Structure 1
Amino acid sequence: KAVVENEQLDSVILVGHSMAGGVIAEAAKLMPKKVKGIIGVDTSQNVALAFAQSDLDAMTKPFEEDFQKGMSVFVQGSLPKDVNTELLHWVTQDMASAPPAIAINQFRHYLGQYVSGKASQVYESVNVPVVLVNARLWPTNSEENKKHIKDYRIYYIEDSGHFPMLEKPNEFNTTLMEAVKSVK
């Protein structure tokens, strides 16, 4: 919101990758007259997904025990098996360079919404198109999403992992422009 106000923008489409899917939904609620749509990139696969605190604890344990190793395993599982090794190394180094305490706290906070059931609630007062540009690495439950998102559509980047903008930049850019044009 601060950037939109500082730049004196009257009309924006917000784009967010991964955990930023929920962030752009929250931002849209803060600026209902300025945000014309939100585009999530490999995010919001199932906004109604629910899991227990013990599941969240199990997911964060590898990061808490050895952040570098945990991040390496996470990134490797987020990319296709045949991913370019340079890209794998770069993404791993980039993500592992985050301060562990901050990264783990953000991860816990974000995924905590799925424990509390608040992940779908963020969309209750979002009254603009919500467009996803997702990979198929983690299945997207569009039927469930449609129950919680008023104006929902999805595009897929085939044969990609969690970072389609890095793995398939040309296809991603073309699909992102289609998503932008779909926001009326």
Structure 2
Amino acid sequence: MSVISEPLTEPTGCTLRGHDGTPLACDCLGAGEPLLLFVHGWTCRRSYWAPQISFFGRRQAVAAIDLPGHGHSSPGERETWTVSGLAADVAAGAKELKAGQVILVGHSMGGAVAMEAARQLAGLAAAVVLVDTFVIDYGGLAPEVVENIFAPFADDFPAAIAGLVEQTSTAATPLELKRQLIREMSQADPAWALPLWRDLLNWNPAPAFAELQIPLHAINGALIPESARQRCAPFVGETIVPGAGHFLQMEDPAGFNRVLAQVLAESILA
């Protein structure tokens, strides 16, 4: 029986299994299809989707997973850290939730993971919503650019995390939110965070764009580079939240929920 089959008023925690058996902490709420499966970003956690779980869980089945090493999910015995590996975890979790159809909603790295998971969930994935995923122009980074981005994290991980949060903030990003993000993201273990970061920086969305025949829609803030916008335009619809920083779902949860609901109604479920 599906763990999301009964209507609930508060999220219920459960443990799913990744593709290699790694336990994945998960929150579920609501009933009805399609399942909205929320995927967090690099060094983030499922609680960053809490306002979305509460809001959309009143309408349909929703779930948010802590990826291995993140939040309350341990890294297990994993030795190789890749976007495709995390995608296999998400795909395994989606199947364990026994949903007939899944809409994957991924923030930042979570969007890359969601796209790759959708490739593994042929017939089950109904759409992918990318939340500020292409704030880095994945697929367009030369090797020397990848190394320039990566090196500060290898040299001083906490300082580089603080710099990343500052660089992806705008006037719309509350100071307390920035402090929270720096504190929590810098707690990630570099033993898995660094190889995953390098793999993410080298990720190329082109194969997923070519293969996926489902709706892809981006909800972007103010920081998406024009090169990334042009790269995605032939494949991805876009809704812009003017002035928003990278963590737009946390900066203005109610506003983001309205935008996501509109995207789902007009571009995904129409």
Q: TM-score band (shorter)?
A: 0.7 to 0.9
- The answer to whether residue 99 in structure 2 is matched with residue 9 in structure 1 is yes
The structure 2 residue matched to 1:145, chosen from 232, 237, 253, is: 232
- TM-score, normalised relative to structure 1: 0.88
Structure 1 segment 5-84 matched on structure 2, within 5 A: 5-44=95-134, 49-81=139-171, 83-84=173-174
Aligned to 1:161: 245
Aligned to 1:120: 206
| Structure with higher RCO (Cα < 8 A, 6+ apart) | 1
Structure with bigger helix share is 1
State the SS of the aligned residue for 2:211.
coil
- The answer to whether residue 255 in structure 2 is matched with residue 171 in structure 1 is yes
The alignment yields a C-alpha RMSD, in angstroms, of 1.8
* AA in 2 matched with 1:69: A
**Structure 1 consecutive aligned stretches of length 4 or more whose deviation exceeds 4 Å:** 45-49
* AA in 2 matched with 1:54: E
Checking the alignment, whether the CA contact within 8 Å between 1:48 and 1:120 is kept in structure 2 is no
| CA positional deviation for 1:35 | 1.1
| CA positional deviation for 1:133 | 0.6
| CA positional deviation for 1:142 | 3.7
* AA in 1 matched with 2:125: V
Whole-Å separation in 2 of the counterparts to 1:122 and 1:12? 17
- TM-score, normalised relative to structure 2: 0.61
Checking the alignment, whether the CA contact within 8 Å between 1:46 and 1:145 is kept in structure 2 is no
State the SS of the aligned residue for 2:195.
helix
CA 1:98–1:183 in structure 2 vs 1: closer, same or farther (change >3 Å)? Answer: same
Checking the alignment, whether the CA contact within 8 Å between 1:47 and 1:145 is kept in structure 2 is no
State the SS of the aligned residue for 1:144.
helix
Q: Which runs of 5+ in 2 are unaligned?
A: 1-90
Instruction: Report percent identity of matched pairs.
Output: 25
| CA positional deviation for 1:132 | 0.4
- The answer to whether residue 217 in structure 2 is matched with residue 131 in structure 1 is yes
Whole-Å separation in 2 of the counterparts to 1:83 and 1:130? 26
Whole-Å separation in 2 of the counterparts to 1:159 and 1:110? 26
State the SS of the aligned residue for 2:159.
helix
Q: Deviations over 1:6-40 (max 9, x none)?
A: 12110110000001111111111111211110001
Checking the alignment, whether the CA contact within 8 Å between 1:45 and 1:142 is kept in structure 2 is no
State the SS of the aligned residue for 1:124.
helix
* AA in 2 matched with 1:65: D
CA 1:176–1:103 in structure 2 vs 1: closer, same or farther (change >3 Å)? Answer: same
| More displaced 10-residue stretch of structure 1: 1-10 or 135-144 | 135-144
